[in-house]
Structure 1
Amino acid sequence: MEKWVVSAKRADFQEISRKFGVDPVIARLMRNRDQITDEEIEKYLHGRLSDLHSWKLLKGMGELLGILTDKIEQKKKIRIIGDYDIDGVCSTYILLKGLQRAGARVDVDIPDRMKDGYGISEELIDLAAQASVDTIITCDNGISAISQIAHAKALGMTVLVTDHHEVPYEELPQGEVRTILPPADAIVNPKQEGDTYPFSGICGAMVAFKVICGLYETLGIPKTELNNLIPFAAIATVGDVMELQDENRIIVREGLMRLQNPENKGLKALIRVNNLEEKTITAYHIGFILGPCMNASGRLSTAKRALNLLLTEDEKEASILAEDLKALNDSRKDMTAKGVEQAIEMVENTDLAKDRVLVIYLPDCHESLAGIIAGRIRERYTKPVFVLTKGEEGVKGSGRSIETYHMFQEMVKCKELFTKFGGHPMAAGLSMEEENIEKLRRRLNENCTLTQEDMTEKIVIDVPMPMSYVTIPFIRQLSQLEPFGKGNTKPVFAQKNLQISQCRVLGKNRNVVKMQLKDEFGAAAEGIWFGDGDVFVTKTQEKPCFDVIYYPTVNSFRGRESIEMVVQSIR
């Protein structure tokens, strides 16, 4: 059951409207997104690349760049070790292109999800040693690789860590917390203790981008050459579901502008095979179309296929690689649907239903799909979810959480049950022995303090707004708030007591409903609903009036523009 609440943050909306030349409702929407001062509002509306925080503010950057420039000058062999998801692929690309431009002897390796698991492994380190690699630089991983990096150091290698994940820690008997850092020669991670970087919520590719910013400035390479790397930092920021706030918002907006006609042949081909050439690329397209294609290579094959797509200079090869990734993603969708169906059946028909933290074991599920399935189950039940699968060496799994449950902290409380784990407040990955699954389920639920209120999906309404207020110029102003995503959600509008009539179900899957909306004051508008059309029509026949959550859009047809309300929820 959803709970609808109205955001009630206060400000002088008329004054903000006057000062920044926006509608008072736009002013209210910005305040709801915690843009309070004039400086914050100006940056939110008009933030530029010059507003990005300086790379110099990241702890450890000076040491890392000092070592890196020495190694480049000495022509030492450098190997980048990335990760197999979209953030890992993009950060690997950024470091590789940047280091190549700086004249480094550099190559890359990316772990195999099935064989190596998450992040840098001893096997990858041994392979680097066999190849006479002098220096390893990680991206989007490494902060929790304590023993692995110790192994690399024992082999005489220099190790540089660039990462953004939570720093491992342990709780001492007196209640104090001690962080545990790997024995690397330099570490750049905005989440490490003592780092005063103004915004710690950046992804691995943004950390890599900052490293290359610093490298170019140190070596006197023109700043304009960074522009080609911006789309990849943007793709990773959206794909890794970072908060679209502060500099993340700026880099994504700038990246989207460059994605409308990308220079990169691989990106151009991926856009083409997904039939997006004629569309304006938004954060939605990254998050739900392009990003999943790139992620599919790391899930079902090797992430090197996605990296090769980004690196190719041959248009024919780019087309072939892009088609391959799309086909992989289509296969992934089918496998995911089956896994979700199995997980729901387990929750509905076993004693898992009473748990506040769901630990679902799907031994035959492809381990790379665990995180996606966990996310779908979380959406359905509004509970933290771990989906575990059987691998060649024990059990592997992924978790997805809700806002009121810090998944990483809860995992730390039972860390002895894992052979390996890491993550964020909202997501995590793990490896463990099969016999510990039931212990994990029991411990997580015993420690859980979630209330029913915490597990009730909450829809926050930005503005209770009559449809009659909406005009096409107002809808155009809404675009100033983009890009939308986590941390900068699409505005939510609502109106009470709307009549819904003339419903027509469209589409071969009957998943689109066109309708007429009319309020008690006589205002009318076209409406559209995306979802199970027959269920929607049946529901709307039960009662004459509904409260409606909607988002206004402009519908263009044969040169004529009209307002259409996208209905998002009714009650």
Structure 2
Amino acid sequence: MKEQWIEAPRIEGNQELAEKFGVSPMAMRLIRSRAGLSEAEVRAYLYGTLDDLADARLMKGMTEAVELLCQKIQAGATIRIIGDYDIDGVNATHILVTGLRRAGARVDTVIPDRLKDGYGINEHLIEQAKEAGIDTIVTCDNGIAAAKEIAYAKELGMTVIVTDHHEIPYREEPDGTRTMILPPADVIVNPKQADCPYPYKKLCGAAVAWRLVEVLYQEAGVPREEFLRLAQFAAVATIGDIMDLTGENRILVKYGLRQLEQTDNPGYRALLAVNGLEGKKLTAYHIGFVIGPCINASGRLDTAKRALELLGAGTAAEAEKLAGDLKALNDSRKDLTAKGTEEAICLVEETELGKDRVLVIYLPDCHESLAGIIAGRIRERYFRPCFVLTDGEEGVKGSGRSIPGYHMFEEMTKVAELFTKFGGHPMAAGLSIPTENVEILRKRLNENCRLTDEDLVPKLPYDAVLPIQYAGEQIIRELELLEPFGKENDKPLFAAANVRVKSARIIGKNRNVLKTVLEDAKGSRLEGISFGDVEADLNYIESKDTVCLLYYPEINEFQGRRTVQAVIESWR
């Protein structure tokens, strides 16, 4: 696929700040491109702490929610937390149940079964709660789009508190204005509410739950240290739910990762051990691609109750068994995902789907829990918005993954009448739809699509030109100041031109790694490593005298030997 390399705008005036913060001008350029240009913004980016988070009571509904919960606790009312089956929902549920029990609540939890219940709160779960004598339902990572369901709970005389972070559903009026559709809950805590004064809007569901527990503990007189111990769960959820690693999220994740390295939670300790991460410095990569998929695999192929049980495990033996089960489920999930992805690729390559700008791929036999992962893989391969749909117990279910320039939630809102249920973000969405509407959805989304040819060319931004002779340990140490890396705080990428590839070979058990030795015009050499379509890359570089590359320098430690290597993102 062709791609466009774009150098980040040059930032001038780095010298003075570089001296003040004790880094090179190059490092300061990278920091300011992410943090902002002012000294205050740089300082917050580098040294922000949990004390710099906004007052949790600024969040609309926060004070009222905690007051209501305190009343329920004092009255001995039964409370049920209804979470979600993904990494955000599981961690949010654990945070809330831990916090409410510590504050003296009579509380239990329900996480919907992905296949039987679908996403979030529903009438079946509400009826179950009523039959069990539950007085109050607290949602986490769901509920904001459940107006009908929550109205039913209110009809049954139940108290409902919604904590969520998803986009607020709306109705498009004839004059083009939008009317927000809020559920009739007793209290809603969601920073995305239009009149919510909380300044940072990009928290995940677990982070919203974490801030609620902070205020609850303040009211209950619980030491702040106990609240802080829950930060690791909110941090894992923030990474796993692919939230922006900016502002408060960056602070939370930095703190939570260090906490997780020394975790006293038997579940996470066992999960780190079974994945070979015990005692290692943890990065967002380890959560996003190792730990997170194990948590998500529980809700995908079995029941998310297993993951919740892992986080609440009381003994090392119990935690070790559950962690082993989750890793085995994730290994199975990888195999099923590969099979589904190949089937989706065949449909795009061999049918008229390949002509569409918005891909709507119907895989009836695919495990519905894998639809989002497969949609993401197809989106990456073809750089087009992609929905993967599969047969559920009632109708068709699916997930979508988008590209910049295509607001998935808004585009779905334009055809809302086609869905039984839908919700999501600009870049991702979930849906239920009658079988007969699948082809109509594909047609309507493509008719409405305004993506241009330019929009469908991947943009690969890089930070600066850095000849490989300057890719040494000093710059690598400075790059560590920019961690944790993730969405909206990407690893820096550098460009190098006129590089000769002195040797190249494919290695690895799955032959998916290209190992190279690079040399510039001055004779400086650097080892390189790249992934992806390595056969095509090898054929390409063997046909060229010199190449340009985008890369990230890092230290490779192997058998006690430390060497600098370039992790190569792209060749041309």
Whether TM-score is above 0.5 comes out as: yes
Per-residue deviation, 1:261? 2.2
The superposition leaves residues 40-87 of structure 1 with CA deviations (integer Å, 9 ceiling, x where unpaired) of: 111111111111121011011111111111001111101100001000
Equivalent in the alignment of 1:117 = 118
Per-residue deviation, 1:307? 0.1
Equivalent in the alignment of 2:244 = 243
Per-residue deviation, 1:540? 1.6
One-letter identity of the residue aligned with 2:430? G
Equivalent in the alignment of 1:223 = 224
Q: Is the 8 A contact 2:261 2:279 kept in 1?
A: no
Equivalent in the alignment of 1:19 = 20
Aligned mates of 1:43, 1:421 — CA distance in 2: 37
One-letter identity of the residue aligned with 2:393? E
- Residues 523-562 of structure 1: pairs in structure 2 closer than 5 A: 523-562=524-563
The superposition leaves residues 185-244 of structure 1 with CA deviations (integer Å, 9 ceiling, x where unpaired) of: 000000112012111001000000010011111222111111220110000000000000
Per-residue deviation, 1:34? 4.5
Alignment coverage as a number of residue pairs: 571
Per-residue deviation, 1:511? 2.2
Q: Is the 8 A contact 2:537 2:571 kept in 1?
A: no
Aligned mates of 1:140, 1:281 — CA distance in 2: 25
Equivalent in the alignment of 2:76 = 75
Aligned mates of 1:17, 1:36 — CA distance in 2: 12
Q: Is the 8 A contact 1:495 1:549 kept in 2?
A: yes
Per-residue deviation, 1:382? 0.6
Per-residue deviation, 1:527? 1.6
Matched, 1:325 2:334: no
Matched, 1:352 2:337: no
Equivalent in the alignment of 1:471 = 472
Per-residue deviation, 1:396? 0.5
Aligned mates of 1:135, 1:564 — CA distance in 2: 56
Equivalent in the alignment of 1:316 = 317
TM-score by length of 2: 0.98
- Residues 258-337 of structure 1: pairs in structure 2 closer than 5 A: 258-337=259-338
One-letter identity of the residue aligned with 2:190? N
Equivalent in the alignment of 1:41 = 42
Aligned mates of 1:560, 1:420 — CA distance in 2: 55
Q: Is the 8 A contact 2:35 2:42 kept in 1?
A: no
For structure 2, the residue ranges without an aligned partner over 5 or more in a row are: none
Aligned to 2:553, the other structure's residue is in SS state strand
Q: Is the 8 A contact 1:510 1:532 kept in 2?
A: no
Aligned to 1:549, the other structure's residue is in SS state strand
Aligned to 2:229, the other structure's residue is in SS state helix
- Residues 32-431 of structure 1: pairs in structure 2 closer than 5 A: 32-431=33-432
Matched, 1:29 2:23: no
Q: Is the 8 A contact 2:164 2:205 kept in 1?
A: yes
Aligned mates of 2:178, 2:6 — CA distance in 1: 36
Per-residue deviation, 1:3? 0.6
Aligned to 1:33, the other structure's residue is in SS state helix
Matched, 1:568 2:569: yes
Per-residue deviation, 1:262? 1.2
**What's the Cα RMSD here?**
1.1
Equivalent in the alignment of 2:513 = 512
Aligned mates of 1:101, 1:278 — CA distance in 2: 30
Per-residue deviation, 1:533? 4.1
Q: Is the 8 A contact 2:154 2:160 kept in 1?
A: yes
Q: Which moved more, 1:463-472 or 1:434-443?
A: 463-472
Aligned to 2:282, the other structure's residue is in SS state coil
Q: Is the 8 A contact 1:91 1:140 kept in 2?
A: yes
Equivalent in the alignment of 2:9 = 8
Per-residue deviation, 1:532? 4.5
Q: Is the 8 A contact 1:164 1:191 kept in 2?
A: yes
Q: Is the 8 A contact 2:471 2:553 kept in 1?
A: yes
Q: Is the 8 A contact 1:505 1:514 kept in 2?
A: yes
Q: Is the 8 A contact 1:17 1:27 kept in 2?
A: yes
The superposition leaves residues 499-536 of structure 1 with CA deviations (integer Å, 9 ceiling, x where unpaired) of: 01122332222222322211123322122223444433
Aligned mates of 1:82, 1:295 — CA distance in 2: 14
For structure 1, the residue ranges without an aligned partner over 5 or more in a row are: none
One-letter identity of the residue aligned with 2:88? D
Per-residue deviation, 1:35? 1.9
Matched, 1:442 2:416: no
TM-score by length of 1: 0.98
Q: Is the 8 A contact 1:82 1:141 kept in 2?
A: yes
Per-residue deviation, 1:356? 0.5
Aligned mates of 1:370, 1:470 — CA distance in 2: 40
Identical-pair percentage: 57
Per-residue deviation, 1:100? 0.7
Aligned to 2:334, the other structure's residue is in SS state helix
